[in-house]
Structure 1
Amino acid sequence: MNASSSAAGWRVPQDLSGKLSALEDEQRRFITSGDFLAFMPARQMEFELASRDADKVRALISDLKAVAAEMGYDESRDMGAIPLNLTAKRFNQGIMPPAALRKEDRSPGPFSVHRYIFPESGVPTFAGAPVAIWPEDLVAGKVDVAIVGIPNDMGSGRRNAGAAPHTMRSLNTISTPDIQTLVNPTEVLSVVDYGDLAIDSMSTERTIGHVTAMVAETAGTGAVPMMVGGDTSMLYPGVKGVAQARGKGSFGLVHFGAHPDADSQAVHTISDEQALFLLIDEGIVEGDELVTIGLRGAAVNQDTLQWLRDNKVRYHTMAAVNRNGYSAVLKRVLRELRSLPEQLFVSIDVSVIDPGDMVAAGRIAANGMAIQDLTRTVRHLCAARDIVGFEITDMAPMLDYSRLSAVNANAVLNACLVGMAARKAGYGPDDVHPLALDHGQ
């Protein structure tokens, strides 16, 4: 509760009003207006008035006013907000790749950056995959999946999501075989590490334009952009870029997250708290093309859920999971997907996972989904539908020195890879290899 709202309900107790007569007018106003409430609770002020003599009360108010003066904004002393130069052609920091780099003397196509046969012994890449740099590399290599890092770290919650791409690359836990079909994804799919996209670490607004363009360029080659954030604000340009390449209305969006990300009243125009709102508000995705799963936490209130319902969003809260069981919720989700296009964009905010499996979620929320339920669902979706985009966001590795959170984030990404590989290899989403199901003894 802020000072102004507190002041509306607080008055100087009658038996203490005499203590104010000894104060100067400005000091008296500081108390009666409630301005002191920003620095001291009302009950403590009442105690101080009752226990101090006039001189000590004057000294206390003088000290509080001095604190207030230091906390407030003084134009002659304090730096104002740094204005954003909307006409600038470059980021605040970092160097955009110059055109001269395209003159590199090599044939287009993915190339290895590994020194030895085993990729983990050389330069780390997602899934130990070869590297691609330009769209012509994706085309020449007939690339199915381009995994790309987006290390933006300007979202709400606990920071460090910008380190997730590097951490997830460094673990050799992507591209493990599918336990259902025993298919190895990199033997079926052409997968590349497409590097990290440049971000402006001082402006999410400026970053989204570049990310949107790069995602659209990637998707335009026919490759599926598989994006590793970074905070969840990047969901907006990720989906927007795919929509520019594939066309609005050509795909559905399934989003897993604790947070509805549908805040229409926040100060900033784009953040992790507004990603889904902007996608719907701008018509990039229609509400009835969106299914969101795992909602819980402070942002899930009557107004937000009503807004989602009014916009025809199919939402599934943890209340539904707790009452009906996850299997029942999953069956309903799969029924709802029948009305969506065959093509699908799958988005994961790791906050959807229970903290026992994902302590490094930037916007952590208790009582979430089990990692087994999430990976099972993601694998099924990526095996059953034509995936046009995938995104996993908001894993802040610094918050979990055990690396369990990074291992589980990779498991979610790998679940989509193996699902896509199983689909390309001709397996149905529920098919299981006999050797994987029974020992036969």
Structure 2
Amino acid sequence: MKKEISIIGVPMDLGQTRRGVDMGPSAIRYAGIIERLERLQYTVHDLGNIDIPRPDRNAPEREDKLRNLPEVVDTNKRLAEVVDEQVEKNFFPLVLGGDHSIAIGSIAGVSKHYENLGVIWYDAHGDINTVETSPSGNIHGMPLAVNLGLGHQKLTEILYNQPKIKAENVVLIGVRDLDEGEKDLLRKLNIKVYTMHEIDRIGMPQVIKETIEYLKERTDGVHLSFDLDGINPSEAPGVGTPVIGGVTYRESHLALEMLAESNIITSAEFVEVNPMLDDKNKTAILTVALVGSLFGEKLF
């Protein structure tokens, strides 16, 4: 891992309808993420939060049916520019969300610096809807599609007008809730997916071993997009869109410990922490512990 980390907060809840994930970055900071990383001998630059525009609630319904599109575009443009600047400085960008639509900006900013950026999408959901397939119009269910170059042009052209990643460089882990359109697209693009069925069947160690081997062969950097709803809500209750039957806290630690040992992760984001649904900041505290594992923390 690079020894200098830039923390970028994106307190946005506009990619969906449930309030609370805008407080995620503050909750994670309060849980001690900076102190945790400094104890691991990293130099941490906390860049504060990206300013989030507020939508006009009196504006007429948009024809494109995408919720808060102008504001989500604006936020992700600014996030992409900040991430781009931090990678240019050779710092590790660590983005704190906020709903998962912020992955549009974070991956756009990172992808400028790699020929074949890999992405590990650790999530209960596929987030690969488009305006045609989305049941809700919530952009937090679309960032993976957008980064593949699929979706509204104002989203796909953020920072530069090309797909940011290739389908063959993506691995989904922990998936257990997919819309029909997402299933069709994942099959069409032949994206590597480890659902909870595969995790239960072969175990997390094998899933991560295969993921590392798969991505090492074809990528020159790997972005980790970690949605806390990938973890079972009994252990991580404070998330934007909880789905029962998820990965355990311990399995997640193991996954991140193995990724740390592999030294393939070059940028990361942790998203969808919702303190309004949490129990005594339990999910943010869990997030900080997981970040510690990603950056090489060991018991002894």
Under a length normalisation based on structure 1, what TM-score does the superposition of the two structures give? Answer: 0.57
Instruction: Show the counterpart of 1:93.
Output: none
Instruction: Show the counterpart of 1:229.
Output: 97
Instruction: Show the counterpart of 1:138.
Output: none
Residue pairs, 1:14-33, within 5 angstroms: none
- Write the deviation string for residues 343-385 of structure 1: whole angstroms up to 9, x where unpaired: 2111101110000111111011110001111122123213312
Corresponding position: 1:252 with 2:112: no
Residue pairs, 1:136-285, within 5 angstroms: 144-156=4-16, 158-172=18-32, 175-176=35-36, 184-185=39-40, 187=41, 189-202=42-55, 203-244=71-112, 246-249=113-116, 251-264=117-130, 265=132, 266=134, 271-281=139-149, 282-285=162-165
Quote the Cα distance in structure 2 between the aligned partners of 1:268 and 1:300.
11
Residue pairs, 1:363-378, within 5 angstroms: 363-378=241-256
Aligned-residue identity in percent: 21
- Write the deviation string for residues 114-135 of structure 1: whole angstroms up to 9, x where unpaired: xxxxxxxxxxxxxxxxxxxxxx
Q: Which amino acid in the other structure matches residue 285 of structure 1?
A: I
Asked whether the 8 Å contact 1:156–1:363 carries over to 2, the reply is no
2:183 to 305, 315, 320: 305
* Higher CA-based Rg: 1
Quote the Cα distance in structure 1 between the aligned partners of 2:186 and 2:39.
39
Corresponding position: 1:341 with 2:230: no
> What secondary structure does 2:129 align onto?
coil
Query: If each structure's strand is expressed as a fraction of its own residues, which one has the higher value?
Result: 2
> What secondary structure does 2:140 align onto?
coil
More relative contact order, 1 or 2 (CA 8 Å, 6+ apart): 2
Quote the Cα distance in structure 1 between the aligned partners of 2:246 and 2:239.
11
- Write the deviation string for residues 3-62 of structure 1: whole angstroms up to 9, x where unpaired: xxxxxxxxxxxxxxxxxxxxxxxxxxxxxxxxxxxxxxxxxxxxxxxxxxxxxxxxxxxx
Quote the Cα distance in structure 1 between the aligned partners of 2:261 and 2:206.
20
Asked whether the 8 Å contact 1:171–1:407 carries over to 2, the reply is yes
Q: Which amino acid in the other structure matches residue 196 of structure 1?
A: N
Quote the Cα distance in structure 2 between the aligned partners of 1:204 and 1:386.
29
> What secondary structure does 2:139 align onto?
coil
Superposition RMSD in Å: 2.4
Instruction: Show the counterpart of 2:169.
Output: 289
Query: How many residues of Structure 1 are paired with residues of Structure 2 in the alignment?
Result: 270
Consecutive unaligned residues of structure 1, counting only runs of 5 or more, are 1-141, 178-182, 420-431, 437-441
Q: Which amino acid in the other structure matches residue 334 of structure 1?
A: I
> What secondary structure does 2:245 align onto?
coil
Asked whether the 8 Å contact 2:204–2:255 carries over to 1, the reply is no
Asked whether the 8 Å contact 2:126–2:141 carries over to 1, the reply is yes
Structure 1 residue 390: Cα displacement: 0.6
Asked whether the 8 Å contact 2:50–2:75 carries over to 1, the reply is no
Quote the Cα distance in structure 1 between the aligned partners of 2:259 and 2:173.
13
Quote the Cα distance in structure 1 between the aligned partners of 2:122 and 2:10.
19
Quote the Cα distance in structure 2 between the aligned partners of 1:205 and 1:342.
27
> What secondary structure does 2:28 align onto?
helix
Quote the Cα distance in structure 2 between the aligned partners of 1:346 and 1:239.
10
Quote the Cα distance in structure 2 between the aligned partners of 1:173 and 1:372.
19
